[in-house]
A and B are shown apart, each in its own frame.
Chain A
């Protein structure tokens, strides 16, 4: 009966309930079912917990990190492991949520009894993981950018930082861009730690070159339309626009800036120019955008270890090349496993010492962890997005500059609050 059916339908719920449900729905929308598989523990395995945001806006990068980390594990196991013990990667989805990451990490340590933790892909999430590992005395090698993790407040002797940090990345890009394209700068910044740290990195590099900040426009993280910020940027007439955001925010911001014709008079620069963002955005959108990166696969033209790593990755993933953040998954896991071999034990204190004295070249040239804060001292690449002369569909950037590993490009130990 339509009548009773209909009247029931209409009286079932009040406006308030609908609104509440709507709000709940919006909150839940960030939550998606996890995809990870629980690997069965083998007796005596060396277990590495690997919390990364498999679902959510950085899912593409995170899945690439897992693929690369698996190569490091396979390499180690194919070489016979350590005293017959094989390595095992325990991947968990942290959903890009600091709370979720802390819970998963605690589970990894308490329930799965992992020996070490490597992972994370967010400035905030890595601090949350680090809080747990530091309290439990477990080594954590972070593969995501952050300045704060090396500061004495958050750091512990179990904390290692394999990724670049905003100070190094923005510094390298700033030194390149401000001397080449001009000194008047506008920042379009995602309003959270990552964005703020990148701006600080640009400004400290810019200060020495006489760069001038015309405006730092902060946008909410995860915005999908940036058009409302663009007329003002245009009217400020800067030489350089630094878009300090990440992932899809970067794709959307660059796409819309291109659409508004900003590129005709302004050089667009991103502190971290992401391989996945470039692929998702397309060649025309990103044409001419300059940025920094820890790794680009074409490094294989000059660096033999890059070639070796790329070949392994290609063989395991149907010819695909590793992305920047993906490669960090490889280096992060491999350095811990190498330290185990060097230490001759899985004992945490000894492995910490072995990591501290590690001089390695796994995929991008020489690297080492600085003594005071365990930041990996490494090269920073400055790249430019291209739409022509592409060798194949993966050849999306040209390497226009390389800053060699040098502690003077890092914040000093004293700046970070460390004694030595």
Chain B
């Protein structure tokens, strides 16, 4: 390839990290729910899309991106709570594909509802005022918003890690994932923990939606391709592993960026090749616990 410079290569890696941040955001919500509840949430992409639409809607009312950034995950998380309490919970104890089918169908209900409410054509969402434009990062110009995205993802991951590893509540969540029965014997209501975890997971999906809204068109179907990518990241990282989701998300981002540079036609396929490769060498994923699913 002609014109390949070190600057371009480095800029490409930064682009990959920014891309990876979106993957990380999506995968941690998915992975969290799977790791704790053993539910494969096929509505994850739809929650993400609902987050983006809710962001557009609330931005129209508040005119403040930062307020939306707080409100959207809370609102989408609340939808998640309702879904867990009334739809997912009755299915615990049944075969694992029951909740899978439920969430799969739920995804379509969300998409159709948004189509009815907001129309088939997408709606515009501009980058928030203070984060517009590109800045010189020493190796070239890079969009400020994408830098913000990398930072925001880092903060969220750190916060989530501290919450799960360092708080008493996190301890209960981790215990619940390992052995819910003992937890029950100790007098803790496991169903409440599952409820909360589902709420947090879907809330993060909603947050990724509003964070991604300035990057791409907000459309009813925006969650469909993203769901596939999120699954790839989760499987590569190891289902249920937070550090796995982060590592795999960044890895997938950089792989996409590099194939886009050298073999653009292969950009979409590359992540699936990566997944196949990882599964061949390490079937449980990079950081997954073997035998989690039986």
Contacts and interface: CB of A to CB of B under 8 A. Distances in A.
Interface in A2-25: 2-6, 8-15, 17-19, 21-22, 25
Contacts of B121: 59-60, 276, 279-280
A234 to B, nearest CB: 7
B67 interface: no
For A12, A14, A30, the residue with the greatest tally of chain B CB atoms inside 10 Å of its CB is A12
Given A22-B40, A229-B264, A261-B143, A2 B11 contact: no
Given A21-B97, A256-B215, A227 B124 contact: no
Contacts of A279: 121, 124
A19 B293 CA distance: 12
A57 B216 CA distance: 14
A232 B12 CA distance: 8
Given A30-B224, A252-B217, A260-B142, 16 more contacts: A5-B93, A9-B93, A10-B96, A13-B96, A59-B121, A60-B119, A60-B121, A224-B216, A227-B19, A228-B15, A228-B267, A235-B7, A255-B215, A259-B214, A280-B121, A282-B125
Contacts of A218: 264-265
B124 A259 contact: no
Nearest to A63: B120
Contact of B294 (A12, A224, A259): A12
Contacts of B108: 32-33
A285 B124 contact: yes
Given A12-B95, A281-B217, A22 B184 contact: no
Interface string A247-270: 010011001100111000000000
Contacts of A284: 126
A9 B96 contact: yes
A256 B221 CA distance: 19
Interface string A285-298: 10000000000000
The 8 closest A-B pairs by CB, nearest first: A282-B124, A5-B93, A228-B260, A60-B121, A261-B134, A220-B268, A280-B122, A12-B96
A231 B181 contact: no
B3 interface: yes
Interface of A: 2-6, 8-15, 17-19, 21-22, 25-26, 28-30, 32-33, 56-57, 59-60, 63, 191, 217-220, 222-225, 227-232, 234-236, 248, 251-252, 255-256, 259-261, 276, 279-282, 284-285
Nearest to B122: A280
15 contacts: A9-B96, A10-B38, A10-B96, A12-B294, A14-B294, A22-B231, A32-B108, A217-B264, A219-B260, A219-B264, A228-B267, A229-B264, A231-B12, A231-B261, A235-B140
Contact of B127 (A223, A232, A259): A259
Contacts of B12: 228, 231-232
Nearest to B123: A280
A280 B264 CA distance: 26
Contact of B227 (A14, A29, A248): A29
A117 to B, nearest CB: 23
A234 B141 contact: yes
A282 B218 CA distance: 11
Interface size class of B (residues with CB under 8 A): 35 or more
Given A32-B108, A229-B264, A260-B141, A13 B15 contact: no
A12 B38 CA distance: 10
Given A227-B146, A228-B260, A14 B293 contact: yes
Contact of B225 (A222, A255, A261): A222
A29 B104 CA distance: 9
Contacts of A236: 3
B62 interface: no
Contacts of B226: 224
A259 B145 contact: yes
Contact of B93 (A4, A13, A255, A260): A4
A260 B143 contact: yes
Contact of B181 (A3, A28, A222): A3
A270 to B, nearest CB: 14
Interface in B193-223: 214-217, 219, 221-222
Contacts of B140: 231, 234-235
B75 interface: no
Contacts of B92: 5-6, 9
B216 A228 contact: no
B264 A21 contact: no
For A6, A17, A231, the residue with the greatest tally of chain B CB atoms inside 10 Å of its CB is A231
Contact of B133 (A3, A10, A26, A261): A261
